[in-house]
Structure 1
């Protein structure tokens, strides 16, 4: 991973651009002098509250339903360590490294704002682990999404005290050993600090932001791939005319239509309606409306995630300027849960319409005279037949995954926590749907590129010709039946990384 100039977290937090620099490009992180002062001031305020022997949830009380149990000061340190140990019971495959880095960064942003009451030492050790590449092993399943992402974040917190496991320099190690190798001393938790580490929405938000990045690459790629299919099927360009978009003035619809016009400009295979072909099928004609609606949804989802990225979401929160401590509900993941369910639907539709275009490319009754299943030897060879089957299977699976997780709730903690968001489930499902969409679009792109083999290269638009050449570096032309699994995966990985619309990026395979 390349190293970039340090990202400084200030009172405003971070931008999505700096988030990506840290998570994907290895930029180091620090916090501003003002944030440092805020953290110190908030801790001093908390210690003053404790000296006055005031009761503060999770500081000198039990947790959840046990909040009525008031504990003596001598129990404070054990209370925080026991909290991490007892809550670190998530299960399932570990989150990918980029999600863990995102979780660490987002937790750091939240704590650095100076409303959580942790010591500066906690902020520094979290920063140092992120910068040194000590990544906690965090199982991906087990969060209800309120009181935040308790179980996943507990695994993150355990690493900071030298317990649990961590990935360091490519090796999975006991956290104590990983910290030692990185020259980082484990912290000894004090009042409030265990709770401040685990109470928040950083797991669902981390998955949400990394998925949103891929989803935006998907929608951009979908426009390009649709244009290639339209050209391969001798499509009609009238539906993409600017006047049509002006009278239904969604900016995202207009943006998609403009994209299609740009990609198809100069092609000798597309044109206006004619007596023998007045209209194309919806999967070609309605691309601006369908892709545009998904893009509009993603823009809204991004707004939600960018607010959450720079929010303080633990409980209780301390406000030194006002001299107040509040127990509230900022840990509740409902805003992210709804956004992730929305993303699931928006990206599912991009895959759904893509699969319909693939069907038109391979079906001899619909593909404008192209060979059946895009093979000159149909019958003895199956050509692209089963690629469409795979796309159909993934689209069908997406329909199941797109069922909203946020409409479900199971009470917990003896009914004290009686409404939860299931936001992390929604985020994980959104990530899976987005991966599927990458595969489905890769299949359409393979078929569209193969369909263009029956066109004269000089008559293609300059834009599609460039994409054709890019695809051929990853997927050779069809000569005889072969397995396409690895080629679909490689092409999908490139699409999800934004390489289709930025060929300068290096081509890589999905891990």
Structure 2
């Protein structure tokens, strides 16, 4: 993935990348608005002002919301309508989102509004930008979004703070929204026509979760290939199965890439074997790594493209077209594209853990490995890696439950006006859990592969040597039983920190 190298990210609504979202979210990169974006925001705002002045009947501007879309709101109540919208819709439940997710949501909403199709005032958009830049992070509960009509409840909690309401975190302290704004040198605003709807009618909660999941998923895929290569060496596997000739005749891009990476990691290894030297074929969990890991790569590429498009999309309603003067009510807030993407990626990432657990079993089972049972020299007195495989199996089973797709569910809402919803935010939330679980399983394989390598002799491959050296810098070989959870957590941190082999 392309990395964000500048500490300032300019948003114009069209060119935001997933890496830039991750940098804003995790590295606190600052946001600025492109001059052309500000001009477009002013143009769409002028449309709203004209509609209010002329008392046009337009959804969400001079009417109620959802089932109340046929209720016309008097001109003197238009501002109160927007504030009521935020107050009434801020009804999320559950634990709050981590700060990185909140920051990603804010950045994505700013970018969507910067396209100039939403009718928000410039000063309102600038307040949201400055909240993100100065570290005023609204407390946003994780539960409550149906993923159609956008992420209404989560985004309403974000906007509460802009009104001096709700709660926010500032410099590590949780306080009222009003106090957080004051501490950062900012003042609350009063929303005007269309602004409340413009701020909360969008897919930014699910897309924020997906952006971070896509970033994390990429590193996990790369690490899965090098860890699998270590297991191949530990079990004297046959790299001929990764020969380019084989993968050209089934030319899935991900499969070819994983095969290429495996050969690169194993280059120069003295631990692998030729066909027929020990066995004619390896088990599927070794031989079919390119096909399994590669399919995950292809899924990731599809999701990366879909999420990138969503990062730069207009997802509210109605949408204002200043060039034609049209105001169109549609369904761009519907999260189905992200819901399917999240479910798809969760299934693909879970398979990395699924096949990894099978390789762990081959490492610890002496009937399959030819190594000491459970990778300990004093089996019986010591249990070695016995229970690490239990843990991996437990986590893999949990992922299988989580991979039931949220996107196939729909519960009608708003008196059946909103009669099909995406559940995309639920899909994206559980995707993050699946990725976290997969990291844990790969961390266990990493530990076990390094331990198995210690029982053998011979030079390691170019990539596997680097990965082996990395883990041995912080985790020594297991010579007698110790609290394995400490090693497992340390290995998990290594994987979570980025690519083992840059």
Same fold (TM > 0.5) = yes
Which residue among 174, 196, 199 is the counterpart of 1:197?
Answer: 199
Q: Deviations over 1:70-106 (max 9, x none)?
A: 1101111211111111111111111111111100000
- In the superposition, the TM-score normalised over structure 1's length comes to 0.96
CA drift at 1:393? 0.5
TM-score relative to the length of structure 2: 0.97
Q: Say which of 337, 341, 344 aligns to 2:343.
A: 341
Partner of residue 374, structure 1: 375
- Which position in structure 2 is the counterpart of 1:253? 255
CA contact (8 A) 1:146 1:421 kept: yes
- Shift, 1:294, TM fit: 0.6
In structure 2, the partner of 1:508 is none
Tell me, yes or no, if the aligned pair for 2:264 and 2:462 is still in contact at 8 Å.
no
- The CA deviation string for residues 296-324 of structure 1, in whole angstroms up to 9 with x for no partner, is 01100001000000001011111111011
Residue 468 (structure 2) pairs with residue 468 (structure 1): yes
Q: Which residue number in structure 1 is paired with residue 442 of structure 2?
A: 441
Tell me the equivalent position of 2:386. 385
- State the 1:499 CA deviation: 3.8
Residue in structure 2 matched with residue 414 of structure 1 by the alignment = 415
Distance 1:485 1:153 in 2: 38
Three-state SS of the structure 1 residue aligned to 2:88 is helix
Q: Does 1:159 align with 2:187?
A: no
* Deviation sequence 1:106-154 (CA, Å, 0-9, x none): 0000111110001001110000000001111111111000011011000
Question: Against the structure 1 CA distance between its residues 275 and 9, is the aligned structure 2 distance closer, same or farther, given a 3 Å change threshold?
Answer: closer
- The question of 1:14 aligning with 2:16 is answered yes
Aligned to 2:152: 150
Aligned to 1:394: 395
**How far did 1:271 drift?**
2.3
Question: How many Å apart are 1:11 and its aligned residue?
Answer: 4.5
Shift of 1:292: 0.3
Structure 2 unaligned spans of 5+:
none
Counterpart-to-counterpart distance in 1, 2:342 and 2:22: 19
| 1:498 counterpart residue number | 498
- Counterparts of 1:305 and 1:196 in 2: how far apart (Å)? 20
Q: CA–CA distance in 2 between the matches of 1:377 and 1:275?
A: 29
Q: Do the aligned partners of residues 5 and 116 (structure 1) sit closer, same or farther apart at CA in structure 2, a change above 3 Å counting?
A: same
Contact 1:9 1:31 (8 Å CA) reproduced: yes
> Superposition pairs for residues 311-322 of structure 1, below 5 Å?
311-322=313-324
In the comparison of the two structures, how many residue pairs are matched? 499
Find the aligned partners of 1:3 and 1:226 in 2 and give their Cα distance: 31
Cα deviation code 1:174-215 (max 9, x no counterpart): 111111010011111111111111110000000011011111
Residues 101-500 of structure 1: pairs in structure 2 closer than 5 A: 101-274=103-276, 276-367=278-369, 369-456=370-457, 458-500=458-500
* Two-structure CA RMSD over aligned residues (Å): 1.4
Cα distance in 1, alignment partners of residues 468 and 317 from structure 2 = 53
Corresponding residue to 2:40 among 31, 38, 41: 38
**Counterpart secondary structure, 1:167:** strand
Single out whichever of 227-236 and 270-279 deviates more from structure 2.
Answer: 270-279
TM-superposed CA distance for 1:251, in Å, is 1.6
Contact 1:253 1:291 in 2 (8 A): yes
Work out the CA distance in 1 between the residues paired with 2:5 and 2:126: 20
SS in 2 for 1:93: strand
By how many angstroms is 1:492 displaced? 1.9
Structure 1 gap segments, 5+ residues each: 503-511
1:349 counterpart SS class:
helix
**SS of aligned partner of 1:140:** strand
For residues 431 and 104 of structure 2, the distance between their equivalents in structure 1, rounded to whole angstroms, comes to 16
**Aligned counterparts of 2:220 and 2:54: Cα–Cα separation in 1:** 55
